[in-house]
């Protein structure tokens, strides 16, 4: 085997081993709550990968992406809970949630085909808020979503008789629910990455990039911009729908408060901070922005022990640091922490 291939194989095996032991290491060093944080980071990574299709590849600014996450979550919750007395298996519900979210992606994309920039952002923002308000108010006259109370007792994911919500012991090692869901989410993220890379290198992906660079030129070259933009919205929404279904099963509870505008902005920031158009950067941004708020929780007891009182609330500090990081990024590294080579050259004005 050539040396460079052997090096890549060794690096891949090392990364795989690190990902396998990561949840157990975090639990042993920082506590089980951090395993839940990483589970959440993987779900946000899936969402960021989906938004990257819309924003990073096609250049369509979407501030209502969290709506597709909610659609996928409620699609799973309604058909796997006592709400209607239905308990379909997850392998039916996850594809169904993806399809429903994809259809809503087309519904969003159809009236926005002529919009760009700020106008597109405002319309997508409104779409996200409309979906959340519908979820809040669809409890009368017919109780569909149970309103602001949300839906509880959602069925966990079961694979071949293995209930991921239970704790198992394998070779003396306890596998709790957070560990089982971690490995499931990790597989889903890997699948999302592979699918996204295949899309990027396909004719459709090149058409998205052509539209992002110059829609008029792309149309002049024979690209059906209408269909291609609709496909971008649908594909991005599909990722959101799958992530929503996984979130619903993991939490066992969903409510409209989980799908606010701030979450859409946070997902967009993950894409921008990590590096638009680069999958590795997008995943990095998702992990950083999910772990940062949890890390700042230690600031409060630290202030208490050093000064005898809390001067800066961790929630306020989080927003201050978050805003400062974005300002510094836009000033010194607008292409993101880990940009795609093409994007980096574009922002530097290179051919």
Rounded to a whole number of angstroms, the distance between the first and last alpha carbons of the chain is: 36
In terms of Cα–Cα distance, which of 166, 138, 168, 165 is closest to 150? 138
Collapse the DSSP code of 160 into the 3-class scheme (helix H, G, I; strand E, B; otherwise coil) and give the result. coil
In terms of Cα–Cα distance, which of 20, 280, 293, 338 is closest to 175? 20
Write out the two tokens for 189.
Answer: 């993220």
**Residue tagged 């530097």 (tokens):** 348
Instruction: Please give the average per-residue pLDDT across 71-90, as a whole number.
Output: 94
- Tell me how far CA of residue 21 lies from CA of 15, 201, 295, in angstroms: 10, 32, 21
Instruction: Please give the average per-residue pLDDT across 171-180, as a whole number.
Output: 90
Confidence of residue 322 (pLDDT cuts 50, 70, 90): confident
- Tell me how far CA of residue 29 lies from CA of 22, 35, 160, in angstroms: 11, 11, 32
In terms of Cα–Cα distance, which of 166, 151, 154 is closest to 252? 154
Half-sphere exposure of 249 (CA within 13 A, CB side): 35
Collapse the DSSP code of 280 into the 3-class scheme (helix H, G, I; strand E, B; otherwise coil) and give the result. helix
pTM of the complete model: 0.93
Instruction: For residue range 180-215, list pLDDT tens digits in order.
Output: 999 999 999 999 999 999 999 899 999 999 999 889
Q: Compute the distance between CA of residue 235 and CA of residue 222 in angstroms, rounded to an integer.
A: 22
Torsion sign (Cα): 200, 201, 205, 207 = positive
Instruction: For residue range 254-279, list pLDDT tens digits in order.
Output: 999 999 999 999 999 999 888 888 99
Instruction: For residue range 100-138, list pLDDT tens digits in order.
Output: 999 999 998 898 888 888 888 899 999 999 999 999 999
The torsion angle over the Cα atoms of residues 75, 190, 263 and 226, rounded to 10 degrees, is -70
pLDDT for the residue 351: 45
Q: Compute the distance between CA of residue 33 and CA of residue 55 in angstroms, rounded to an integer.
A: 32
How do the domains of the chain map onto residue ranges?
A: 1-30, 32-258
Residue 139: phi and psi, rounded to 5, are: -115, 5
Q: Compute the distance between CA of residue 329 and CA of residue 337 in angstroms, rounded to an integer.
A: 8
The torsion angle over the Cα atoms of residues 104, 97, 49 and 328, rounded to 10 degrees, is 70
Confidence of residue 293 (pLDDT cuts 50, 70, 90): confident
C-alpha of 189 from chain center: 9
- Tell me how far CA of residue 351 lies from CA of 51, 69, 344, 345, 348, in angstroms: 27, 37, 11, 7, 9
% of the chain exceeding 90 in pLDDT: 63
In terms of Cα–Cα distance, which of 69, 55, 70 is closest to 285? 55
In terms of Cα–Cα distance, which of 41, 249, 248, 40 is closest to 163? 249
Write out the two tokens for 296.
Answer: 């700042």
pLDDT for the residue 275: 87
Q: Compute the distance between CA of residue 193 and CA of residue 202 in angstroms, rounded to an integer.
A: 14
Q: Compute the distance between CA of residue 136 and CA of residue 343 in angstroms, rounded to an integer.
A: 40
Confidence of residue 344 (pLDDT cuts 50, 70, 90): low
The residue count for the chain: 351
Instruction: For residue range 236-254, list pLDDT tens digits in order.
Output: 999 999 999 999 999 999 9
Confidence of residue 301 (pLDDT cuts 50, 70, 90): confident
Q: Compute the distance between CA of residue 133 and CA of residue 141 in angstroms, rounded to an integer.
A: 15
């Amino acid at each position: 085997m050539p040396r460079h291939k052997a090096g890549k194989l060794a690096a891949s095996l090392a990364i795989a081993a690190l990902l396998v032991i990561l949840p157990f290491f975090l639990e042993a060093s920082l506590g089980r709550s951090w395993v839940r944080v990483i589970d959440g980071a993987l779900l946000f990574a899936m969402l960021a990968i989906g938004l990257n299709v819309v924003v990073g590849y096609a250049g369509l600014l979407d501030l209502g992406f969290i709506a597709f996450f909610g659609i996928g979550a409620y699609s799973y919750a309604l058909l796997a809970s006592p709400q209607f007395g239905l308990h379909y298996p997850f392998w039916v519900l996850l594809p169904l949630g993806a399809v429903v979210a994809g259809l809503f992606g087309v519904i969003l994309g159809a009236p926005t085909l002529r919009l760009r920039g700020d106008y597109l952002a405002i319309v997508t923002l409104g779409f996200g808020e409309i979906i959340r308000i519908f979820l809040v108010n669809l409890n009368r006259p017919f109780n569909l979503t149970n309103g602001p109370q949300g839906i509880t007792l959602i069925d966990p994911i079961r694979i071949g008789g293995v209930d991921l919500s239970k704790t198992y012991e394998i070779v003396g090692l306890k596998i709790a629910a957070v560990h089982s869901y971690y490995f499931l989410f990790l597989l889903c993220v890997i699948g999302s990455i592979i699918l996204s890379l295949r899309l990027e290198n396909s004719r459709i992906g090149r058409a998205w990039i052509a539209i992002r660079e110059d829609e008029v030129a792309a149309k002049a070259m024979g690209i059906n911009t209408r269909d291609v933009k609709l496909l971008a919205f649908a594909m991005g929404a599909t990722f959101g729908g799958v992530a929503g279904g996984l979130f619903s099963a993991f939490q066992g509870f969903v409510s409209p408060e989980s799908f606010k505008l701030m979450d859409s902005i946070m997902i967009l920031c993950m894409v921008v901070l990590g590096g638009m158009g680069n999958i590795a950067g997008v995943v990095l941004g998702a992990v950083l922005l999910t772990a940062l708020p949890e890390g700042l929780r230690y600031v409060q007891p630290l202030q208490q022990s050093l000064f005898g009182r809390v001067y800066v609330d961790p929630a306020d500090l989080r927003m201050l640091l978050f805003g400062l990081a974005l300002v510094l990024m836009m000033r010194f590294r607008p292409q993101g922490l880990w940009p795609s080579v093409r994007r980096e050259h574009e922002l530097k004005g290179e051919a």
